[in-house]
Amino acid sequence: MFKNKVALITGGSSGIGKATAIMFAENGADIVITYNSNKSGAEEVAAEIQKIGRKVYVIQADLCQEKDAEDVVLSAVKEFGKIDILVNNAGRYVDGDEWNGVSEIWMKSLRQNLLLMMNISKYVIPVFKKQNSGVMVNVASRHGIKGHSDAVSYSAAKAGVINLTGAYSDLLQPFGRANSVSPSATRAGYWLIAPKEELEQTLADRPNHKLVEPETVAKKIVYLASDEAKDITGQNFPVTE
């Protein structure tokens, strides 16, 4: 499906990013993954990709820093000569994200969930333009569709991701595409360490009372990056099962 393609996945050391990187590799792509602090996780993902028989390049970066984002893209292009697919997965929920919280927590949440996507996209889009091809898939959230009072800035940031996706879709036409996915609570990141009561309440509100598996989200991302979805752009897709 992705023979001779190169996929860059941000936040590829665990969770949705890990599942997505491995799934792309299983479908023939060579992989670039970024990580911020989880070096051992990134190395484990790289080892799995190598076992599949695909090439992989791992880069440590804080994508909230524009220079780091630029270095990632330059290094990826130097290593593989191109970038065909960008999966903007990196992001995190910030503790204390409440409607009456302090502004620094809100700004941190915006930096870590929206600004970092803008930073890496700023340097990948010119690569797409030069190639006259490229596909972007951004990971938003159910809270980006409907905000939550216990995740105010996170909701705003993820809504921004959905809106940003539409803007990038316009920018990339006619040669490229951009879509986003909005997972419900997923067995990754915050939900692996969430307080028991919060997790139980979240599961109680879900039809099947289960967390979404990272592989379920990865399947949607891989589909949207494939030629099967070549006519789909500027859309956001909830992932609930």
Q: Which residues are catalytic?
A: 154
The answer to whether 22 and 89 are in contact (CB under 8 A) is: no
Cα separation, 9 vs 14, whole angstroms: 11
* Sequence-ordered list of residues with C-beta below 8 angstroms from that of 10, at least 6 positions apart, any chain: 17, 33, 34, 63, 86, 87, 88, 89, 90, 116, 117, 120
Cα separation, 183 vs 198, whole angstroms: 17
The answer to whether 86 and 179 are in contact (CB under 8 A) is: no
Would you give the distance in Å from CA 50 to the centre of its chain? Answer: 21
Instruction: Give the E-state strand segments of the chain in sequence order.
Output: 6-9, 30-35, 56-60, 85-88, 134-139, 176-183, 236-239
CA angle 163–169–171, rounded 5-degree value: 110
Phi, psi at 79, each rounded to 5°: -75, -45
Eight-state DSSP code of residue 113: I
